[in-house]
Amino acid sequence: MLTYSFTNLGSDSLYEHLYKCIKNDILQEVLHPGDKLPSKRSFAKNLGISVITVENAYAQLIAEGYVYSIPKKGFFVADIDQSPSKREPVLSAENMHLSSGKSYYLADFTSNQTQHNLFPFSIWAKLMRELLNEKQSELLTNPPCGGILPLREAIAKYLKDFRGMVVSPEQIIVGAGTEYLYGLLIQLLGFDKHYAVENPGYRKISQIYKSHKVSCHYASLDKTGIQINDLEAQEIDIVHLSPSHHFPTGIVTPISRRYELLGWASKSDTRYIIEDDYDSEFRLTGQPIPTLQSIDVLEKVIYMNTFTKTLASTIRISYMVLPKHLVNRFYSTMSFYSCTVPNFEQYTLARFISEGYFEKHLNRMRNYYHKKRDCFLQQITKSPLANRCSISEEDAGLHFLLTLNTNIEDATLQKKLEQNGIKMSFLSQYFVNPPKSAEHVFVVNYSSLSEEVFAQAIQLIYEAL
């Protein structure tokens, strides 16, 4: 006789709980096609429930095709088609890992996830409570497609005060992540244009362009940034670059190359530069690098940034600054899009910036990451690994390059490290055709790690060599 527990029903009624238990046993093949189910009366007596409860559960199972009845003989498990095309997918351990977001590594040097103790929860909660009391009507009013005006005003003021950019709120378009904004830009600038990304570079950017079926090319870098002659040779219309702090090499494009890029863009009405300023807030030594947009007088630069690094990787709020002549085109052709960021987050972030909390938070985070970086580098220099490695590009952003003195191939070394609980990406992974100079160079992102694991991680890297 089948027996089920009714102690943890949750919000389910008795019949719903019984229905789910039997359905689950059928799907998990505990009950097989043709198996006879207990009669309603005997089943109810065994479970200590009413006959009508069993009857309702059986009726639901029959309605969905899991069970069938034969008059005067009883109820039987149906032969449901569990072919691969119809079977419910089973999550593998790897997929469970990906979907849960949890790391099973001692140290994951590829992650940019924010540590929970660094997010200003108390201030964020305070601002949200205030808004829930004061802005009830505004919170439930559909925002313009470019985002609510208070947030765009706050961003415009921040850009002027801290990045030297003079822009109007109308030029700012807010969206849920830069990936979404890239899609809008492709529609705005044209699917027929030739786009270029940096090589090496962040691979997701090229994947996004290719997913929109546009012509995406790779432009090589030298020691000062993207090469102009490569853009010319490939007849590029729009180039996507990060001049203030390139990922993963850490290159900062000097002013001379920046003016060359603006000169290249000025030669055609269809040419634009997408300036990705991601990670620029965390220059840990010296003054922040001025943006390319701030020296652009011909309206050829589209500026993009996000709050995922400065606040949290799960806050999907990004924005782009369009040249003035593109603003009207955007609203005349794309205003049917709804803003993808909820009003609750937009108003909270607007107040967080305008009331000075964002500036204080950034200063706190810079100091925190500065100390963390110094701690990590000091531990490396004091360890046996110091004689087997060199460090570069450690002054900006939240990653640096670690060149290891070894003859082990990158893929083999990466696998050995993972077996030791260390996840790292190597520089050659970010090239289309990696050069010899990229071998044994690892990209070390330390932002998500606690200082307690540094010493053990360094030892495990050394042991892998």
pLDDT at position 396: 66
CA gap 329, 335 in Å, rounded: 10
CA gap 216, 414 in Å, rounded: 29
Beta bridge partners of 176: none
Tally Cβ neighbours within 10 Å of residue 27. 14
CA gap 445, 112 in Å, rounded: 7
Q: Kindly report the CA angle at 247 between 368 and 222, in degrees rounded to 5?
A: 135
Kindly report the pTM of this predicted structure: 0.76
Residue 356 region by backbone torsions, left for phi larger than 0, else alpha for psi between -120 and 50, else beta: left
Is residue 348 within 8 Å of 154, Cβ to Cβ? Answer: no
pLDDT band at 272 (very low <50, low <70, confident <90, very high): very high
Q: Which two tokens stand for residue 64?
A: 């969905």
Range from 50-54, 148-152, 413-417 that averages highest in pLDDT: 148-152
Is residue 272 within 8 Å of 229, Cβ to Cβ? Answer: no
List the single range of 4-8, 16-20, 381-385, 419-423 with lowest mean pLDDT.
4-8
pLDDT at position 228: 96
pLDDT digits (tens, 9 = 90+) for 58-73: 999 998 888 999 988 8
pLDDT at position 281: 77
Of 462, 381, 383, 254, the closest CA to residue 391 belongs to 381
pLDDT at position 334: 94
Beta bridge partners of 172: 321
pLDDT band at 146 (very low <50, low <70, confident <90, very high): very high
Task: Calculate mean pLDDT across residues 311-336.
Answer: 94
pLDDT of residue 236 exceeding 50, the answer is yes
CA gap 454, 402 in Å, rounded: 14
Q: Which two tokens stand for residue 6?
A: 């009714």
Beta bridge partners of 240: 197, 274
List the single range of 142-146, 189-193, 226-230, 409-413 with lowest mean pLDDT.
409-413
Task: Calculate mean pLDDT across residues 310-327.
Answer: 93
CA gap 426, 461 in Å, rounded: 13
H-helix segments, 48-177: 51-63, 93-100, 121-134, 136-139, 149-163
pLDDT digits (tens, 9 = 90+) for 426-457: 999 999 988 888 899 999 988 888 888 899 99
CA gap 424, 430 in Å, rounded: 13
pLDDT of residue 100 exceeding 50, the answer is no
pLDDT at position 93: 47
Say whether the peptide bond before residue 200 is cis (omega within 30 degrees of 0).
Answer: yes
Strand 318-321 and strand 272-276: the pairing is unpaired
Is residue 339 within 8 Å of 145, Cβ to Cβ? Answer: yes
CA gap 144, 141 in Å, rounded: 10
CA gap 341, 317 in Å, rounded: 7
